[in-house]
Structure 1
Amino acid sequence: MSTSSSSFVSPLDPGIDELWERRADITPDDADARKAVVAAVDAIDAGEARVAQVAADGSVVVDERAKRAILLSFKVLPMVESAAGGFQYHDRMPLKTRFDGVRVVPGAIVRWGAHIAPGAVLMPSYTNIGGYVDAGTLVDTWATVGSCAQVGRNVHLSGGVGLGGVLEPPNAVPVVVEDDAFIGSRCMVVEGARVRRGAKLGAGAILTSSTHVFDANTGEEYARGEIPERAVAVGSSKIKSFPGGEFAMPCILVLRVLAEGEIHDKLALNDVLREHGVSA
């Protein structure tokens, strides 16, 4: 995956880069540094900047300055006590307060510095700093959007889904789940793995940056750590020989790739997965 673009210019204050260079000396007593960092993270919180996004050429472009601002916030913010109802907290990061047009069910937790777009629905779940959840997306019960994970429009993160956080180093590509994707219950997508537009991932699958992805009909191998666009995929295993014997190694199996413009409704998706003994 590409992590940079010659045409990309961060919307954040370039002063963040200067603060990053002298980060070892920054403390919460540095009022000017704190002001600059808080302004930058506020912009990420509001969706005016984001840690990463998919460019027109399909590459993932990382805004290193945004990541640096998040990392610097741990340096410039003091530990403080806070409360939400009867729950007490002691942390450097406050909870998010901007939820315009978002349905937030009791039990949902979002840290400041995560952007939740209008029209999203948060069941009891957790979204970490730097996360981005776009319009129309459902983050279902006990799902986790890790630090800096980027989730597109009209995505369904089913119950217990775990999107891993990728905060350091600043140029590392985070987990990206693109528009119209469906992630089945208890799936894990970590280490900067990517689920492309319209893909459907069956329950319990584990996708890392090094996971092998195979076509069930041809045996063709796709790019590691990526579910292809419009693919219907499930977790599987492939036998591999080692000095100590043969062992089944986890992989992802693409059962079908939808035609351009073809959309699976939930019932049709269940039918495809049920044929292979997998639930959504």
Structure 2
Amino acid sequence: MTTSYTSPLPESIDELWERRSELTPDDAEAREIIVGAVDQIDAGKARVAHVDPETDEVVVDQRAKRAILLSFRVLGMEESTVGGFHYHDRIPLKTRLDGVRVVPGAIARWGSYIAPGTVLMPSFTNIGAYVDSGTMVDTWATVGSCAQVGKNVHLSGGVGVGGVLEPPQASPVIIEDDAFLGSRSMVVEGARVRRGAKLGAGTILTASTRVFDAETGEELKRGEAPAWSVCVTANRVKSFPGGDFGLPCLLVLKRLEEGQEHDKLALNELLREHGVNG
């Protein structure tokens, strides 16, 4: 994460960050600056992180994260209602949803960006998240604070995409374009699912998860599902003084041709072939 990057947000956010312990909801000037910055994130004009197309590095906008964290200091608790439901929170619900299909029960907080063409089933998208066009956030899926989800991604039912707000320089979870996350999969701690990767149901991926190629036995980069691959959670035996124990790892079952679509039925068939639920 060494790529030089200039945030589109005002430098005054950094100045406010240095005296954040002094800020309260009564500071109208600070609140105006901070709300304006988070509103740019809400509109997709700024984002917490992105992948640099030239270096393939994840670039984090610390100023965007700081603006979000500061908003919790300058926004007071307010009551709101949606139908018969009553809420009491500092962060309001998102209202900028042009071109987005939002099914009743879906919750997206202000400060998250949801691109036109996205479908939100009853799910939760937290502040700072970025969800690009053509993506399906399926029932009970959660997109954590500052998580970055690309185009044409399918987050199946119950998927958990973790959030990382602090520290500001920490990289959030990155789900790249055309990825598929099977039901109840969990991707957390700044892990990265590269373009076109498919995760079987119940797959767990963290930043420290060891990754192995089933065909060669080669160990790959930790915390990443390789591009255009089909992956599942597996176990690798490790010896300890108390005995031998199976520790979770990510197993790459198959490599796909770059750009190759892998429809859900074919994916389920492949996973069943290896004794894994689709």
| TM-score normalised per structure 2 | 0.98
**Residue 34 of structure 1: which of 31, 41, 55 is its match?**
31
The list of structure 1 runs, each at least 4 consecutive aligned residues, that deviate by more than 4 angstroms after superposition, is: none
Alignment partner, residue 143 of structure 2? 145
Structure 2 letter corresponding to 1:242: F
**Residue 229 of structure 1: which of 222, 227, 230 is its match?**
227
**Residue 259 of structure 1: which of 229, 241, 257 is its match?**
257
Work out the percentage of aligned pairs sharing the same amino acid: 72
Structure 1 letter corresponding to 2:102: V
Quote how far apart the aligned CAs of 1:271 are: 2.0
Q: Secondary structure at the match of 1:82?
A: strand
Quote how far apart the aligned CAs of 1:275 are: 1.1
| 1:1-280 matched pairs, under 5 angstroms | 2=1, 4-6=2-4, 8-56=5-53, 57-280=55-278
Quote how far apart the aligned CAs of 1:274 are: 1.6
Quote how far apart the aligned CAs of 1:122 are: 0.3
**Cα distance in structure 2, aligned partners of 1:99 and 1:278:** 37
Quote how far apart the aligned CAs of 1:257 are: 1.2
Q: What stretches of structure 2 of length at least 5 have no aligned partner?
A: none
In the comparison of the two structures, how many residue pairs are matched?
277
Quote how far apart the aligned CAs of 1:279 are: 2.5
CA contact (8 A) 2:192 2:225 kept: yes
Quote how far apart the aligned CAs of 1:160 are: 0.2
Cα-Cα RMSD? 0.8
Quote how far apart the aligned CAs of 1:278 are: 1.6
In the TM superposition, what whole-angstrom CA distance separates every residue of 1:194-234 from its partner, at most 9, and x where no partner exists? 10000000000111110001000111111111001111000
Structure 1 letter corresponding to 2:113: H
**Cα distance in structure 1, aligned partners of 2:159 and 2:15:** 37
Quote how far apart the aligned CAs of 1:247 are: 0.4
**Cα distance in structure 2, aligned partners of 1:77 and 1:262:** 46
